[in-house]
């Protein structure tokens, strides 16, 4: 009867109650949404690369190197000469090396030049290595292996021919259209930037750039498909190297050697350390987001309190009636509190439902555009604690109108002067 | 005695100099039906609130059915009111968004008689006795006519079988026909249940149904 009274009373004030439920719902949406994306982004970023001990690139900030080599975000500052590459991988501590050459693209997806080591040694998530869903690694010069998302979005299958573009803009006017590549392999989805990448051999990258100078193709100097085989296709330079070492103990030795490389200024980073630097940088941003979502929530809860407080005035007669049938003041206090909690619970349900729906809709876009893989909304202990706090805040704020009802209901003790 | 007031003086705490009620002695015996009339401002609401325990006086004694209201704790007064006193207002006797049955049940849950059991059944019996057709039992009470609402209010007031029924101008928003109808069911139910009835109104034509008529101005000597 108690809960029925609270719910029917709320139904009776549908308009203002619905607005308040929506306000609470929106704030829950923002709060849990930010929390979820924060978690997922961390998980997604952290699982992008594993098993790589060092990443080597031209001297730059360690974050910059991490971002362009692993996440394909931003642009490399400089290249590593082929001689330096040879020298570094000849180090006895180096077990394997993956050379990376970036700078070209295909319909907005980045192209990465590498070698067979990539498919053999690169791993992501919990030491998962790359697998082919179709085909295999590139044998010839003009083979291309597609990330799962590239193949899906652009509808390529094995044997299709495609043309790379110079530069990384999504619409490029300088195409390497004289030398098309053939799809020889498609990778299984990984939920990492690998899905958004086209992989070609270093020789292929070199071949399409013969006869190019400063980003422009010089007429008559390029290769044709026929004379490619006569050429020595050793690249002059590459963008970065991922290194796997024989022993983890050697990481700092190799790192120091790279950082003090005499021929050119290089930088070696530990991916894990660079990632934690990334979190530190994001920390302030995260705090700001959480603070904003908290403020949104506080204002929604205060709105709820204001709505209930205003309703107490309108309900003076209801309170008098309840009193006359014998309701103690505590009953009225709890009635208003219950109404507040019911509103918040509905708000939470609305917010969570909206967020789940949004996640399903946004998943696709985020995965395709940013390589960010979001799981569907799950309740972590942290988000349950947040919901607990929301309910506690509701109870606290609703204490104001509830006390008002309580005081309205108390018997007035008369005082007559003698 | 159903009601016994002795040297009661009451002033609201915000204005302690302004004594609104000053009754040296006034009583109603068990089973009596008393009609009280008085102009507005004569201390009528204050008196009724004192009798129902919504207000508490610190001077004099207020005893209802032999119990001192002014000596009870707040909780005891609320329980006493739920069990022993039925109350019908001029208007707003029912929660507008609850139906008739729910309104009667709501009054029932605060009493300790029969422990919440049989509330619906008793509500239905009362509604039937008050000539409310069953199709109106489950409508939100805001959709009942004023006449029906006032009759449901009697059922709501009587559900806990109180010994005292206070009616505060219950007929002033009713037309002639509904008023007569209301008075006849009220009187027959009061007789049936042997309830002491305190009826406050300024409509002197209603006083012929009562054995005793008091002018509040005579009872209250505050001014």
Give residue A45's pLDDT.
79
The residue of B85, B106, B167 whose CB has the most chain A CBs within 10 angstroms, and thus the best one to mutate to test that interface, is B106
* Interface contact B95-A321, CB threshold 8 A: yes
Picking from B9, B83, B95, the nearest residue to A416 by CB comes out as B9
Spell out the long-range contacts of A85-89 with Cβ–Cβ below 8 A and sequence spacing 24 or more: A85/A238, A85/A241, A87/A261, A87/A263, A88/A56, A88/A241, A88/A243, A88/A258, A88/A261, A88/A266, A89/A241, A89/A243
Using a CB-CB cut-off of 8 Å, the residues of chain B touching A311 are none
Query: Nearest-CA residue of chain A relative to B105?
Result: A1
Considering only CB atoms, A326 lies closest to which of B17, B102, B111, namely B111
**Digit-coded pLDDT (tens) for B51-60:** 999 999 888 9
Question: Would you state the pLDDT for residue B223?
Answer: 60
Please tell me the distance in Å from B175's CA to the nearest CA on chain A.
23
Q: Of A11, A325, A406, which to mutate for an interface test with B (greatest number of B Cβ within 10 Å)?
A: A325
- Please state the domain extents for chain A: 2-45+285-408, 54-269
- Strands A197-201 and A212-213, by their bridges, are unpaired
Q: Does B15 touch chain A (CB under 8 A)?
A: no
Closest CA to B64 of A46, B56, A109: B56
Residue of B5, B51, B74 to mutate for A, most A C-beta atoms under 10 A: B74
Q: Is A141 helix (H, G, I), strand (E, B) or coil?
A: coil
Residue A219 has what pLDDT?
Answer: 64
By CA distance, what is A318's nearest residue in B? B95
Token representation of residue B75:
């909780």
Beta-carbon contacts below 8 Å between A and B? 101
* Residue of A194 and B117 predicted with greater confidence: A194
Query: Quick one: pLDDT at residue A206?
Result: 86
Per-residue pLDDT, A397: 95
Whether A414 and B106 lie within 8 Å, measured CB to CB: no
Say yes or no to pLDDT of B114 above 60.
Answer: no
Of A11, A12, A326, the CB nearest to B110: A326
Please tell me the predicted confidence (pLDDT) of residue A224.
Answer: 63
* Residue tagged 């109350």 (tokens): B87
What span, in angstroms and rounded, lies between the C-alpha atoms of B22 and B25? Answer: 9
- pLDDT at position A153: 87
Q: What is the interface pTM, i.e. ipTM, of the complex?
A: 0.91
pLDDT value of position A242:
94
Residue of A nearest to B166 (CA): A324
- Residue B207 has what DSSP assignment? G
pLDDT at A295: 92
Integer CA distances (angstroms), B11 to A414, B14, B18, B124, in order: 5, 8, 6, 42
Q: What per-residue confidence (pLDDT) applies to A97?
A: 94
Residue range B127-150: average pLDDT? 90
What's the Rg (C-alpha) of chain A?
A: 31
Whether residues B58 and A413 touch (CB distance < 8 A) is answered with yes
Mean pLDDT of B163-184: 92
Which residue in chain B is spatially nearest to A319 when comparing CA positions? B95
Contacts of A323 in chain B (CB under 8 A): 54, 78
- Residue A25's pLDDT is 95
Residue A412: list chain B partners with CB under 8 A: 12-13, 54-56
The pLDDT assigned to A212 comes to: 67
Count of residues in chain B: 223
Domain segments of chain B as ranges: 3-219
Smallest CA–CA separation between A392 and chain B, in Å?
28
Please check whether the domain covering B3-219 is classified as CATH 3.40.47.10.
no
| pLDDT beneath 50, residues of chain A | none
**pLDDT in the model for residue A285:** 86
Q: Do B74 and A414 touch (CB under 8 A)?
A: no
| Chain B residues 128-167 within an 8 A CB cutoff of chain A | 156
Query: B57, A414: Cβ pair inside 8 Å?
Result: yes
Residues in chain A with CB shorter than 8 Å from the CB of B58 are 413-416
């Amino acid at each position: 009867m108690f809960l029925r009274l609270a719910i029917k009373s709320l139904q009776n004030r549908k308009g203002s109650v619905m607005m308040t439920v929506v306000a609470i719902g929106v704030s829950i949406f923002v709060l849990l949404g930010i929390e979820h994306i924060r978690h997922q982004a961390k998980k997604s970023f952290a699982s992008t690369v594993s098993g790589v001990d060092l990443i080597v690139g031209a001297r730059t900030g360690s974050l910059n190197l991490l971002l362009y080599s692993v996440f394909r975000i931003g642009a490399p500052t400089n290249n590593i000469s082929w001689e330096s590459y040879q020298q570094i991988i000849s180090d006895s501590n180096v077990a394997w090396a993956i050379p990376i050459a970036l700078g070209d693209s295909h319909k907005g997806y980045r192209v990465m030049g590498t070698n067979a080591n990539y498919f053999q040694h690169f791993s992501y998530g919990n030491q998962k290595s790359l697998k082919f869903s179709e085909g295999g690694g590139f044998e010839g010069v003009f083979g291309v292996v597609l990330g799962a998302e590239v193949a899906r979005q652009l509808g390529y299958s094995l044997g299709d021919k495609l043309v790379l573009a110079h530069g990384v803009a999504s619409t490029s006017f300088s195409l390497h259209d004289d030398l098309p590549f053939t799809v020889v392999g498609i990778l299984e989805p990984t939920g990492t930037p690998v899905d958004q990448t086209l992989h070609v051999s270093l020789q292929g990258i070199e071949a399409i750039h013969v006869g190019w100078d400063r980003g422009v193709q010089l007429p008559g100097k390029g290769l044709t498909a026929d004379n490619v085989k006569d050429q020595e296709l050793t690249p002059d330079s590459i963008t970065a190297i991922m290194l796997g070492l024989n022993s983890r103990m050697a990481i700092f030795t190799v790192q120091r050697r790279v950082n003090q490389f005499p021929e050119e200024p290089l930088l070696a980073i530990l991916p894990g350390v660079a990632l934690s630097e990334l979190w530190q940088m994001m920390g302030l941003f995260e705090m700001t987001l959480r603070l904003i979502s908290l403020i949104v929530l506080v204002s929604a809860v205060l709105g709820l309190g204001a709505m209930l407080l205003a309703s107490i005035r309108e309900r003076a007669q209801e309170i008098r009636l309840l009193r006359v049938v014998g309701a103690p003041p505590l009953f009225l206090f709890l009635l208003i509190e219950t109404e507040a909690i019911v509103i918040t619970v509905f708000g939470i349900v609305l917010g969570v439902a909206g967020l789940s729906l949004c996640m399903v809709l946004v998943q696709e876009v985020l995965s395709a555009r940013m390589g960010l893989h979001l799981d569907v909304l799950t309740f972590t202990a942290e988000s349950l604690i947040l919901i607990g706090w929301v309910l506690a805040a509701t109870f606290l704020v609703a204490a104001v109108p509830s006390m008002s009802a309580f005081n309205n209901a108390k018997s007035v003790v008369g005082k007559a002067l003698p | 005695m159903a009601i016994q007031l002795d040297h009661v003086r009451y002033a609201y705490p915000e204005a302690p100099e302004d004594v609104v009620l000053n009754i040296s002695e006034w009583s109603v015996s068990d089973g009596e039906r008393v009609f009280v009339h008085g102009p507005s401002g004569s201390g009528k609401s204050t008196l009724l609130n004192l009798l129902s325990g919504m207000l508490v006086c610190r001077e004099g004694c207020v005893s209802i059915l032999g119990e001192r209201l002014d000596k009870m704790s707040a909780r005891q007064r609320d329980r006493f009111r739920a069990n022993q006193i039925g109350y019908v207002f001029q208007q707003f006797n029912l929660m507008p968004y609850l139906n008739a049955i729910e309104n009667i049940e709501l009054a029932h849950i605060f009493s300790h008689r029969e422990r919440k059991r049989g509330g619906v059944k008793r509500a239905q019996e009362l509604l039937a006795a008050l000539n409310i057709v069953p199709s109106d039992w489950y409508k939100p009470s805001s959709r009942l006519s004023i006449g029906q609402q006032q009759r449901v209010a009697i059922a709501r007031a009587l559900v806990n079988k109180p010994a005292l029924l206070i009616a505060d101008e219950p007929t002033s928003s009713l037309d002639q026909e509904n008023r007569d109808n209301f008075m006849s069911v009220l009187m027959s139910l009061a007789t049936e249940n042997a309830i002491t009835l305190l009826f406050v109104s300024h409509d002197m034509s209603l006083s012929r149904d009562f054995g005793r008529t008091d002018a509040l101005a005579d009872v209250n000597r505050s001014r």
